[in-house]
A and B are shown apart, each in its own frame.
Chain A
Amino acid sequence: MATAISVRNLRKVYPGQPPVVALADASIDIKDNEFFTLLGPSGCGKTTLLRMIAGFEHPTAGSLTMHGENLLDLPPYKRPVNTVFQSYALFPHLTVAQNIGFGLEMLGKPKAEIRQTVDEMMALVKMTEMADRQTGQISGGQQQRVALARALAPKPRVLLLDEPLSALDFKLRKDMQLELKRLQKETGITFVFVTHDQEEALTMSDRIAVMSAGEIRQIGNPRQIYDQPAERFVADFIGDTNFLPAEVIDTKGQTVTIRLSSGKEIAARAAEGGSHKGKVTLAVRPEHANIGPEADGLLGGTLGEVVYFGTDTHYHVALEDGTGFVVRQQNRPDAAAQFSTGDRVGVHFAPGIGQVLKD
């Protein structure tokens, strides 16, 4: 697939005492027809990057091209990208239909074509009945759809979405996630989606860039991001993770053999780009570990709290070396509760399932 947007060493520094680095030399290639998500906590630079692609922020240094064309020389109104704003930014003095047709009108499209496209767009987002409503008279979810239709109407090659679902309640957000994914597939437009919601990112994206403190920490598909986090920040930000101290004793390509604090040895995956020598941190997801008799375990400890969650149960284990470890086990009707608080237990996980982090 061809590259739609190419970001090279993009940097944004706000002057001040001290200067604020909003984005530190970010580089990404976003492909055609891709649902690409920028994920990170607030202030990580994801929105700054999005606004630079849209043209509302100007980088301090770096380059930004779209299908080989330099975007930085173009003002926002000449960039073939459209944005769905976090606040929707619907024009309050225009109706729903006028809002959707605004971009086409600005492009100087013939009236008939505008009308036709607006009708198509309203059908696409199921807002046909609301055409002549004022934007203040429709619900939040409907405003969301109008904002989406307005941005899609000029048929941009890339659609930018700035936390578009954050103002919706839980149920509506779930519906809109599916809806957005559907629209992206149907239209074939590249979506660049900004969110701080890891679950949203995992369910919708083709690829995710995890950002923190103005830097891109890892780029990959949802499975890679979740199963093979490159570093502690990514492992911690997305889902729950146990971190274990370990020592590398042997390396074979991406597979390493490590020694745990209990002295037992096991194979693990190594994150790309790390040195993997000496003392390292091993990340193990709670649902990838099992709890059993102490003798069978890789690590021994005392069972602390046992928290029942309906679908699964969380076992909090205090390991010998003092670190805490959580095991999440699915509840099955046939399995009786085997352990209770205060029992000596063993924690076990399969070879190759733990991830040795970069840092």
Chain B
Amino acid sequence: MADLSSAAETQASRRRWLLLAPALFILVFAAAGPLLITLVYSFLTPGDYGGVEWQASWQAWFNVFMERDIFDDTLGWSDAHLSIFWRSVKLSLMTTVLCLFFGFPTAYFIATRPKKQRDLWMLLIIIPFWTNLLIRTFAVVELIRAEGTVNTLLIWLGIIDSPIHMLFTEFSILLGMVYVYLPLMVLPLYASMERLDFSLVEAGYDLYATRLKVLRRVILPLVKPGVIAGSILVFVPSLGAYVTPRVMGGGNQLMIGNLIELQFGQGRNWPLGAALSITLLAIVMVALMAYVRAAGNQEPHRV
């Protein structure tokens, strides 16, 4: 006898793909598809006024890390690009560490408030999260620029005579990124801490652990998934940051995002821009995969 339920299943499957069609169409058209075209562009020759010549070339990929000396035509590492990559990775790691330093106690503080207060405290974290990134960056700029609040205050107090130069430095980019991405660290940390069973903490104290040992041996291992999630959530957008380094770095402290933009503006080297984009994407994907693996390893330990 024929399987009566298979006809019903075929129908359900058709209905499912029909429902998915509009979303998938838009996502292919304006997200996934263009990425493939970008990949293709990275293997083409740059046009004279931007755009590309349809001529295959490895040049763009070569130029991501290497350069040929203008004078003696020798091969060498591209110092400019490497220093930008290094700055991006360095600043992103520092941002992640600083966000963790500030975010962990903050999330813990919220998670240990009485239940009714927690949502209110979290709202204070969520509001900046949903506030325009540009506005938040701009708010920090106002604070630290030469005629900004901090310098004006210090001069008025007589502590300094002339403004301290803070804007357009690596420090200002770091400050801006920590400020902007901090909520991304607190959200997953809080999510894992809220589920923390405090009878386990009690058990730790009962078994002679000090506060620091309870933190290190009980709390930290239990909220590790939150720490990993928060770190990735901060690291990934930091690495691809564009607005914050542009506004806080003022054009002389480039990060990868700004280097990419440069190729589509003054640089007029679209294939190089495309190759740099794909490189950034690859680094991010590796980070995300490391995260998935780490999260997967955590799974058996969860209750």
- 11 other A-B residue contacts (CB within 8 Å) besides A59-B5, A61-B1, A62-B4: A12-B5, A58-B4, A58-B5, A58-B8, A59-B4, A60-B3, A60-B5, A61-B3, A61-B4, A62-B1, A72-B4
- Taking the closest CB of chain A, its distance from the CB of B11, in whole angstroms, is 10
User: Which among A12, A60, A62 has the greatest number of chain B C-beta atoms within 10 A?
Assistant: A60
- Taking the closest CB of chain B, its distance from the CB of A14, in whole angstroms, is 10
- Taking the closest CB of chain A, its distance from the CB of B124, in whole angstroms, is 31
In the complex, per-residue mask of A77-104: 1 if CB is within 8 Å of any chain B CB, else 0: 0000000000000000000000000000
Inside 8 A of A72's CB, which chain B residues have their CB? Answer: 4
The residue on A at minimum CB distance from B2 is A61
Inside 8 A of A59's CB, which chain B residues have their CB? Answer: 4-5
A-B contact pairs, 15 of them (CB 8 A): A12-B5, A58-B4, A58-B5, A58-B8, A59-B4, A59-B5, A60-B3, A60-B4, A60-B5, A61-B1, A61-B3, A61-B4, A62-B1, A62-B4, A72-B4
- Give the interface residue-count category, chain A: under 10
Inside 8 A of B4's CB, which chain A residues have their CB? Answer: 58-62, 72
**Bound-complex Cα distance A72 to B5 (A):** 10
**Bound-complex Cα distance A61 to B1 (A):** 7
Inside 8 A of B5's CB, which chain A residues have their CB? Answer: 12, 58-60
**Bound-complex Cα distance A58 to B7 (A):** 10
The residue on B at minimum CB distance from A9 is B1
In the complex, per-residue mask of A58-74: 1 if CB is within 8 Å of any chain B CB, else 0: 11111000000000100
**Bound-complex Cα distance A250 to B272 (A):** 97
In the complex, per-residue mask of B1-35: 1 if CB is within 8 Å of any chain A CB, else 0: 10111001000000000000000000000000000
**Bound-complex Cα distance A62 to B4 (A):** 9
- Taking the closest CB of chain B, its distance from the CB of A235, in whole angstroms, is 34
Inside 8 A of B8's CB, which chain A residues have their CB? Answer: 58
**Bound-complex Cα distance A62 to B1 (A):** 8
Inside 8 A of A60's CB, which chain B residues have their CB? Answer: 3-5
- Taking the closest CB of chain A, its distance from the CB of B13, in whole angstroms, is 14
- Taking the closest CB of chain B, its distance from the CB of A32, in whole angstroms, is 26
- Taking the closest CB of chain B, its distance from the CB of A248, in whole angstroms, is 39
In the complex, per-residue mask of A308-338: 1 if CB is within 8 Å of any chain B CB, else 0: 0000000000000000000000000000000
- Taking the closest CB of chain A, its distance from the CB of B110, in whole angstroms, is 30
- Taking the closest CB of chain B, its distance from the CB of A104, in whole angstroms, is 28
The residue on B at minimum CB distance from A61 is B1
In the complex, per-residue mask of A127-147: 1 if CB is within 8 Å of any chain B CB, else 0: 000000000000000000000
Inside 8 A of B3's CB, which chain A residues have their CB? Answer: 60-61
**Bound-complex Cα distance A266 to B58 (A):** 98
**Bound-complex Cα distance A72 to B1 (A):** 15
- Taking the closest CB of chain A, its distance from the CB of B4, in whole angstroms, is 6
**Bound-complex Cα distance A58 to B6 (A):** 9
The residue on A at minimum CB distance from B5 is A58
Inside 8 A of B1's CB, which chain A residues have their CB? Answer: 61-62
- Taking the closest CB of chain A, its distance from the CB of B2, in whole angstroms, is 8
The residue on A at minimum CB distance from B7 is A58
- Taking the closest CB of chain A, its distance from the CB of B83, in whole angstroms, is 54
- Taking the closest CB of chain A, its distance from the CB of B278, in whole angstroms, is 39
**Bound-complex Cα distance A60 to B8 (A):** 11
Inside 8 A of A12's CB, which chain B residues have their CB? Answer: 5
- Taking the closest CB of chain B, its distance from the CB of A191, in whole angstroms, is 26
**Bound-complex Cα distance A12 to B6 (A):** 12
Interface residues of A in 10-32 (CB under 8 A from B): 12
**Bound-complex Cα distance A204 to B263 (A):** 81
Inside 8 A of A61's CB, which chain B residues have their CB? Answer: 1, 3-4
**Bound-complex Cα distance A87 to B68 (A):** 73
**Bound-complex Cα distance A12 to B5 (A):** 9
5 pairs of A and B residues whose beta carbons are closest in the complex: A58-B5, A61-B1, A58-B8, A60-B5, A59-B4
Inside 8 A of A62's CB, which chain B residues have their CB? Answer: 1, 4
In the complex, per-residue mask of B197-221: 1 if CB is within 8 Å of any chain A CB, else 0: 0000000000000000000000000
**Bound-complex Cα distance A61 to B4 (A):** 6
- Taking the closest CB of chain B, its distance from the CB of A169, in whole angstroms, is 29
- Taking the closest CB of chain B, its distance from the CB of A59, in whole angstroms, is 6
**Bound-complex Cα distance A60 to B4 (A):** 5
- Taking the closest CB of chain A, its distance from the CB of B15, in whole angstroms, is 13
- Taking the closest CB of chain B, its distance from the CB of A247, in whole angstroms, is 43
Interface residues of A in 258-316 (CB under 8 A from B): none
- Taking the closest CB of chain B, its distance from the CB of A278, in whole angstroms, is 38
- Taking the closest CB of chain B, its distance from the CB of A63, in whole angstroms, is 9
**Bound-complex Cα distance A203 to B1 (A):** 39
In the complex, per-residue mask of B250-289: 1 if CB is within 8 Å of any chain A CB, else 0: 0000000000000000000000000000000000000000
